Amino acid sequence: MRFCPYAHRTRLVLQAKGIRHEVININLRNKPEWYFTKHPFGKIPVLENSKCQLIYESVIACEYLDDAYPGRKLYPCDSYERARQKMLLELFYKILGYQNTVFFGGDCISMIDYLFWPWFERLDVYGIADCVNHTPALRLWIAAMKQDPTVCALLIDKNIFLGFLNLYFQNNPDAFDYGLSC
Amino acid sequence: MSGASARSLGKGSAPPGQVPEGLIRVYSMRFCPFAKRTLLVLKAKGIGHEVININLKNKPEWFFKKNPFGLVPVLENSQGQVIYESAITCEYLDEAYPGKKLLPHDPYEKACQKMVFELFSKVPPLLLSFLRRQNKEDCSGLKEELHKEFSKLEEVLTKQKTTFFGGSSLSMIDYLIWPWFEWLVALELNEYVNHTPNLKLWMAAMMKDPAVSSLFIDPKAFRGFLDLYLQNNLEACDYGL
């Protein structure tokens, strides 16, 4: 679904690694019956490959893509550094603003930055961008992220997102297709 | 390994020194199921290690410098690198140390183990709630929920037609979920897997694993610990020593 932050993580990784893919959007308020054969609870994101293998849970899907596809590795190679990124993800769920380099993994953008990003992109739309006023390092990170080609390519248009939110809070089933021409 | 049966360190204790070269240190607690995961992996991979037990009801101040969450298990190596969160410690050990790999190399098989791990995630808090309420209030609702969760795991084994959760041989996912089933055995609650025959067979197969059997929890000590722990007794973690 175009506005889901968890699915956004997976789309960021697909984009960053240049993995050819197709997207099928699911109407989360009116799920097709067949979708429950893909995920037992009808959640997104779910990856499906040509061997009919299904992978779900956004973090698991992202790691699968990094492992299975060649090219740029998003998780570091060093076992300790990998462990550190996974510990950081746990912290993300509890504390924000925990960093001492430009990006969360060091001087270059990596997996952990993409895993955090969807929520920060939405801060602006939700009208709560002020909550990073007291965390200059986080504000700098947001600015640096907006310069990343992958992040830019998938940036959600503010007005379209607002249009979606508006309809969504009214329980309008057409919310998910807001902004599409046909 | 050294320290596994030692008294725990509590508030006011001196912080331990540097980890000796060639060993990895695990901060643990004799009855903690999360720490048990790490101990199982250390044993299964034959990794030289030392254990420091932490009094979880009376934590030393220095311990929060190792893990800001103040929880066990925590790994510390001779380079001073610290790793916490039980699943992360297990994966780190598998990657950093040679020998038998517990996680599959194939990306899809690895992802499948992680999806099973997610499926299991409701069991630890449920089992703890259940043990807290036993003999006190009516816990039939909790029993129902436990049955439901066990059935999800049963479905995995039935669909795969394998003995273990990762295939025909024991692997990471089996060690990650084992400690809670070890509790069932120690507390003689095996009846809870009566309606899940494949899960029951899996438990029997696990009991035959050398790492599992060498680290098997002492049922009497565990019951003594549990009683004291549920009463928030500061001595709980050292019960039986």
CATH of the domain at B184: 1.20.1050.10
The Cβ of residue A141 has, within 10 Å, a number of other Cβ atoms equal to: 23
Compute the average pLDDT of residues A105-118.
91
A68 is in which domain, residue-wise?
A: 5-176
On whether residue B16 sits in a domain, the answer given is no
DSSP B177: H
The pLDDT of residue A129 is 62
On whether residue B61 sits in a domain, the answer given is yes
Residue B196 has pLDDT above 70, yes or no: yes
Residues of chain A in contact with residue B91, where contact means CB-CB under 8 angstroms, are 82-83, 86
CB contact under 8 A, A60 and B118: yes
Helix, strand, coil % (nearest 5) of chain B?
A: 50, 10, 40
On whether residue A181 sits in a domain, the answer given is no
Distance CA A30, CA A174 (A): 10
Chain A, 81 to 100: residues with Cβ < 8 Å from chain B are 82-84, 86-87, 90
Q: How many domains does chain A have?
A: 1
Query: Which residue among A56, A61, A82 places its CB closest to the CB of B95?
Result: A82
Query: Which residue among A57, A60, A79 places its CB closest to the CB of B95?
Result: A79
Compute the average pLDDT of residues A42-69.
97
Min Cα–Cα distance to chain B from A64, Å: 6
pLDDT in tens, A120-172: 888 777 666 655 565 667 778 888 999 999 999 999 888 999 899 899 989 99
User: Is A63 in the B-facing interface, judged by CB distances under 8 Å?
Assistant: yes
Query: Are the CB atoms for B29 and B72 separated by under 8 Å?
Result: yes
pLDDT in tens, A3-17: 888 899 999 999 999
CB contact under 8 A, A67 and B110: yes
Compute the average pLDDT of residues B94-113.
97
Whole-model pTM: value is: 0.84
In three-state secondary structure terms, B217 is coil
- The residue count of chain B comes to 241
CATH of the domain at A26: 1.20.1050.10
pLDDT in tens, B113-142: 999 999 999 999 999 998 888 766 677 888
The pLDDT of residue A89 is 87
The pLDDT of residue A99 is 57
Residue A97 has pLDDT above 50, yes or no: no
Same domain as B192, residue B154: yes
Query: Which residue among A64, A82, A86 places its CB closest to the CB of B107?
Result: A64
Query: Are the CB atoms for B193 and B200 separated by under 8 Å?
Result: yes
In three-state secondary structure terms, A172 is coil
Q: Among candidates B186, B189, B188, which has minimal Cα distance to B150? A: B189
**Residue where a domain stops, chosen among B101, B125, B151:** B101
B63 is in which domain, residue-wise?
A: 24-101
Distance CA B123, CA B145 (A): 9
Mean pLDDT of chain B: 95
On whether residue A47 sits in a domain, the answer given is yes
B32 noted as active-site residue = yes
Same domain as B69, residue B36: yes
Residue B233 has pLDDT above 50, yes or no: yes
**Residue where a domain stops, chosen among B101, B126, B155:** B101
DSSP B146-166: HHHHHHHHHHHHHHHT-SBTT
ipTM of the complex: 0.90
On whether residue A70 sits in a domain, the answer given is yes
Q: Which residues of B21-180 form beta strands (DSSP E)?
A: 24-28, 49-53, 74-77, 82-84
DSSP A35: G
pLDDT in tens, B32-86: 999 999 999 999 999 999 999 999 999 999 999 999 889 999 999 999 999 999 9
User: Is A148 in the B-facing interface, judged by CB distances under 8 Å?
Assistant: no
The pLDDT of residue A102 is 79
The pLDDT of residue B165 is 98
Q: How many domains does chain B have?
A: 2
Same domain as B111, residue B93: no
On whether residue B220 sits in a domain, the answer given is no
The pLDDT of residue B151 is 97
The Cβ of residue A81 has, within 10 Å, a number of other Cβ atoms equal to: 15
Residue A96 has pLDDT above 60, yes or no: no
Same domain as B141, residue B91: no
User: Is A62 in the B-facing interface, judged by CB distances under 8 Å?
Assistant: no
Same domain as B129, residue B204: yes
